[in-house]
Amino acid sequence: LADLHEGRARPKRKMPSLSINNPMEVLRQRLLLEVARKQMREANQRQAVANRLFLQNVGKRGFWANSAPTRYDN
pLDDT tens digit string along 1-37?
Answer: 555 566 677 777 787 777 889 999 999 999 999 999 9
Enclosing H/E stretch for 13: none
Q: How many CA atoms lie within 13 A of 57 on its CB side?
A: 9
**Per-position b or e across 3-24, b if 16+ CB within 10 A of its CB:** eeeeeeeeeeeeeeeeeeeeee
pLDDT (mean) for 68-72: 59
Task: Check pLDDT > 70 for residue 71.
Answer: no
Between 50 and 2, whose confidence is greater?
50
Q: Which residues contact 35 (CB under 8 A, 6 or more apart)?
A: none
pTM of the model: 0.51
- Percent of the chain whose predicted confidence (pLDDT) is above 90: 45
